[in-house]
Amino acid sequence: MAGYDTMIFGASYGSLLATKLAMAGHNVTLVCVPSEAEIINSEGTKVRMPVRGSSKQVEISSLGLPGRISAATPSDVNPADFDLVGLAMQEPQYRAPGVRELLDAAARAKVPCMSIMNMPPLPYLKRIKTLDHHRLMHCFTDPTVWEHFDPALVTLCSPDPQGFRPPEEKPNVLQVTLPTNFKVARFDSDEHTAMLRRMQDDIEAIRYETEDGPVELPVKLKLHDSIFVPLAKWAMLLTGNYRCVQPQEARSIRDAVHSDIGESREIYEWVQKVCIGLGASPDDMVPFEKYANAALGLLKPSSAARALFAGAPNIERVDRLVQAAGERLGMRHPSIDRTVALVDDRLAMNRQKAA
């Protein structure tokens, strides 16, 4: 059976999902800037990840995989040519010239879209009937980029795997630091959900040849019927990623979580209560202990915090989204409000400097 063709916005984090799909025999086109496209098309992508039970990392090159990974600029692709569109850019990037038009073309072509963004796309939030999406517009850099999407054609992964581009390497290299799974919610339709199920099964069957024999690699796609499962990432983001932002500098995710483990647990469980108030089952959530243990290995500040202290005028505002969702339920938490205020202040400072 022929593999699926997937187009993914973003060649950094997107290369992780692309690599897993290509290893399973599916073809992927990464949409990126010309300099990235040139090196990916000439040298392929390289994803490095730890493997359980081994002190050695594996480096997976896209060259020679069963499926093909290629790269293109936004003007060189047509979403209608693909079976699935992946969203792996940061939310503010979708309003960039060229990217915005391609995103709108994907919406109008009615191609199923799967997001691996931390910030849920607005059409996905429309699938959660307990949310008033009109009251969430202020959480997005530009909510109008999503206006032509059919919510039934948009799904979301909980992007639990962590990775970054090593600054000393070429831009076709991704280092995975936390090799967990992408947990994806089903589409509304059985037909589109069947595509995700096949991708899940194909990735599950992958065995990677090493000098010690074939091994099972981490980072899989796990399909769930509940549309609330991807929201499990919210508690992690509000407990760790956004609390990396301090008044004067950014701290590591590990320090954000473990410098005051009691407060971290309180925030984590409050966010989980928000999700449950929206309709999630407690079984959709990830226990705090599991997250806190994983955070011990996250020794860098989050990408959001790094971007803020590098002068970014916009970042993904999941912190503000969770605050708004809590307010919808009549819930507030002082630590969440403090985090939102810190991010607001830093963004205002960055915009003033850029003006």
Domains of the chain: 5-224 (3.40.50.720), 229-354 (1.10.1040)
Q: What integer pLDDT is reported at residue 223 of this predicted model?
A: 98
Q: Check: pTM over 0.85? Answer yes or no.
A: yes
Name the amino acid, one letter, at 354.
Answer: A
Q: What integer pLDDT is reported at residue 189 of this predicted model?
A: 97
pLDDT, one tens digit per residue, over 335-346 is 999 999 999 999
pLDDT, one tens digit per residue, over 250-303 is 999 999 999 999 999 999 999 999 999 999 999 999 999 999 999 999 999 999
In a 3-state reduction of DSSP, which class is residue 202? helix
pLDDT, one tens digit per residue, over 85-124 is 999 999 999 999 999 999 999 999 999 999 999 999 999 9
Is the predicted pLDDT of residue 313 greater than 80, yes or no?
A: yes
Q: What is the DSSP letter of 222?
A: E
CB atoms within 10 A of CB 2: 7
Q: What integer pLDDT is reported at residue 215 of this predicted model?
A: 87
Name the amino acid, one letter, at 108.
Answer: R
Cα 203 to Cα 23: distance, rounded to the nearest angstrom:
7
Is the predicted pLDDT of residue 1 greater than 80, yes or no?
A: no
Percent of the chain residues topping a pLDDT of 90: 93
The helix or strand, by DSSP H or E, that contains position 305, with its residue range, turns out to be helix 303-309
Q: What integer pLDDT is reported at residue 51 of this predicted model?
A: 86
Cα 240 to Cα 257: distance, rounded to the nearest angstrom:
5
User: What's the Cα-to-Cα distance from 294 to each of 51, 52, 79, 177, rounded to whole Å?
Assistant: 15, 14, 36, 10
In a 3-state reduction of DSSP, which class is residue 269? helix
CB atoms within 10 A of CB 248: 5
Is the predicted pLDDT of residue 238 greater than 80, yes or no?
A: yes
Mean pLDDT of the 181-210 span? 96
Q: What integer pLDDT is reported at residue 244 of this predicted model?
A: 98
